[in-house]
Amino acid sequence: MRIMRNFAGWLIILTLTSTMAWANVKPVKFDPARNRLIAYMLSHQLPAQHFSHVPFDDALSEKAFALYLRQLDPRKRFLLQSDVDELSAFADHIDDELRRGRIVLPDAGMQILNDRIRQVKAMLDSIMNKGFDPERKEYIESDPKKINWTKSREELADRWRKVLKLQVLDEYLNDLDKAKKEKNTKAKAEKKKTSITDSPTWKKALATVRERNLHYFDRLLRESRQDHYNRYFDAVARAFDPHTNYLPPTSKEDFDIHMSGSLEGIGALLREDDGHIKVVRIIPGSAAERQGQLQAEDTILSVAEKGGKPVDINDMRIREAVSYIRGPKGTEVILTVRKPDGVKQVIPIVRDVVKIEETYVKSTVLTGHQGEKVGYIRIPSFYRDFNAPRDGRSGRNVTDDTRRALVELKKKGISGLILDLRNNGGGALTDAVDISGLFLPGGPVVQVKNFQGMIRVLEDGDANVVYGGPLVVLVNQFSASASEILAAALQDYGRAIIIGGEHTHGKGTVQALIDLNRNLPLLHLKKYDDLGALKVTIQKFYRITGGSTKYKGVEPDIFAPGMLDYLKTGEKYMDNSLPWDTVQ
């Protein structure tokens, strides 16, 4: 289903999965002209395309500034109140910055933040060398919304003293717990010591926390100028609503991978560990698994293209490191790795398409005590490869996979079905409608309304039902968007019993993806590096009854209490969320 030529499709996404280890796009070099162009396009595209059609004025600028400040120092551990006051001079001028192309705030914020990070880094040795009294009761507030910015460097140092003390205590206790589980005598021996601070475990905890924070500060200081601009642009977009985002090229590719469930690369999940890039696991069926030499816990030291010079990736940010590792199908990458035993090995791997199986529909048969068979289908997301038709291939999608799963389960003689939508944050709107049709004999599924108030009913046009037996749908507070459309439709038609927590996430909006590279103003004929994309809220959606899932979500027929009921999660807790309403 297409909105217009330059829109990638209708999307109803709650969040983007963090897939830092999948990024393939090379880091963009900082180009002032490119950023001025992005700023200009945001200042025009967002007010014109967003559902609210609100003007980009001083009020919206202040919302953007609040979001920018929060992402600049989210836990209030670096900036002083005086820094915030200085930056606040820009609060109602962001709209002017974007229109005029004179962008100052991200540079000012970066300079102030980096200065404070260096100051805190310099405090680290002094704080750690003074030590901590584990017997002294102290309190630290972990919710940044409940604390103020510190007013002096002394107050900032004391905040960090408490943070570091908590980290040392956590590390110390975790090490003792580990020793107990391993039935190690170390835990018993240390209990007999008169002072915790003299124990080897305490000293090890101090050293670990010191080293970890040094790497943390260095990682923050390696954030590029372009990284700061990208977060600034995203704060501007999120001022319109929490599901509108600016996606720089790397995030846009993450988004495509999340939606399609596939990528081109070697098939290794990576993590950053104290400045090193380590292998977490090998994806089943991937090029790396077929080659056989790369294993979990290997440390990747350098990367080279076939016939090219190796690039040292030590102390490199994981996104940048992976940009060297990934590449087009059929090309060869040569990794130099250090095995856990210290032996170095050179491993050549021919890149291929990697299927991220966790993305896809899974099904099985559950057998009861009396031999009854119940089908179980888990839908982790409403995935669809939007690029497949453009590339002349048949991409995988959640509707076809669910249909196949239903057919296979019916062949096995199931007497009922459990459809698991827990933690499913959404996906393609078309698939929410199409999957509803697998259980319904045609008819309306959901209503959508645009900024002009025009309402369109999206229907299942196929009267055939793939599965018509007893049906239970599992949901929780992280079931959102497309999940809520499907659950609501099945509930409204009396087709399924919904079981879950107090309510689902409560999202009620539709997004479209705008490729900025295809929307360049005519005067900008210069070829820039990839400009990224905008994910913009363009519609609201409603149940067939006219009710909205906004804030309230889908309330279950059977309440199953769980841990999530005590967390403040959901649309109603998100900044700048669009208001709740209904349609007739």
List the one residue out of 468, 497, 513 whose CA is nearest residue 557: 497
How do strand 497-500 and strand 471-475 relate by DSSP bridges? Answer: parallel
CB 25 within 8 A of CB 253: yes
Among 199, 381, 479, 481, which one carries the catalytic annotation? 481
Q: What share of the chain is helix, strand, coil (3-state, %, to 5)?
A: 40, 20, 40
Residue 292 has what pLDDT? 92
Which stretches of 52-184 are DSSP H helices? 58-72, 81-87, 94-100, 105-130, 153-181
How do strand 533-542 and strand 268-273 relate by DSSP bridges? Answer: unpaired
**String of DSSP letters for 354-404:** EE-GGGS-EEEEEE-TTS-EEEEEE---B-B-TTTTTTTS---BHHHHHHH
Residue 18 has what pLDDT? 31
Helix and strand element counts for the chain (H, E):
15, 21
Among 92, 315, 400, 492, which one carries the catalytic annotation? 492
Give me the CATH code for the 263-355 domain, please: 2.30.42.10
The tokens for 334 are 């040569």
CB 512 within 8 A of CB 456: no
User: What would you report as the CA-atom Rg of the chain, rounded to the nearest whole angstrom?
Assistant: 26
Q: Which residues pair with 471 in a beta bridge?
A: 417
- Spatial separation of the C-alpha atoms in residues 160 and 522, rounded to whole Å: 51
How do strand 352-355 and strand 533-542 relate by DSSP bridges? Answer: unpaired
User: What are the pLDDT tens digits along the chain (584 aa)?
Assistant: 333 333 344 554 332 223 333 344 556 789 999 999 999 999 999 999 999 999 999 999 999 999 999 999 999 999 999 999 999 999 999 999 999 989 999 999 999 999 999 999 999 999 999 999 999 999 999 889 999 999 999 999 999 999 999 999 999 998 888 888 776 555 555 555 558 888 999 999 999 999 989 988 998 998 999 999 999 999 999 999 999 999 998 766 666 666 656 677 888 888 877 678 898 888 777 889 899 999 988 999 999 999 888 888 887 777 788 888 988 889 999 999 999 888 889 999 999 887 777 778 999 999 988 889 999 999 998 988 877 666 666 678 999 999 999 999 999 999 999 999 998 989 889 999 999 999 999 999 999 999 999 999 999 998 999 999 999 999 999 999 999 999 999 999 999 999 999 999 999 999 999 999 888 776 565 677 789 999 999 999 999 999 999 999 999 999 998 877 877 888 988 999 999 999 98
Residue 8 has what pLDDT? 40
- Spatial separation of the C-alpha atoms in residues 144 and 139, rounded to whole Å: 14
Long-range contacts of 180-184 (CB under 8 A, 24+ apart): none
List the one residue out of 147, 139, 165, 163 whose CA is nearest residue 81: 147
Long-range contacts of 560-563 (CB under 8 A, 24+ apart): 560/499, 560/500, 560/501, 561/501, 562/476, 562/501
CB 46 within 8 A of CB 240: yes
Boundaries of every domain in the chain: 55-239, 263-355, 357-573
The CATH label, of 3.40.1190.20, 3.90.226.10, 3.40.50.300, 1.10.8.60, for the domain at 357-573 is 3.90.226.10
- 3-state class (DSSP) for residue 220: helix
Q: Which residues pair with 475 in a beta bridge?
A: 500
Scan for tokens 């994910």, then name that residue. 535
In CATH terms, are 263-355 and 357-573 the same topology? no
Which residues fall within 8 angstroms of residue 262, CB to CB, at 6 or more apart? 353, 354, 355, 356, 385, 396
Residue 481 bears catalytic tag: yes
- Spatial separation of the C-alpha atoms in residues 550 and 304, rounded to whole Å: 49
How many other CB atoms are there within 10 angstroms of residue 246's CB atom?
27
List the one residue out of 529, 505, 512, 30 whose CA is nearest residue 237: 512
List the one residue out of 441, 426, 427, 424 whose CA is nearest residue 362: 424
Residue 53: left (phi > 0), alpha (psi -120 to 50), or beta? left
- Spatial separation of the C-alpha atoms in residues 231 and 349, rounded to whole Å: 34
Question: Which H or E run contains 304?
Answer: strand 299-305
Among 507, 535, 540, 550, which one carries the catalytic annotation? 507
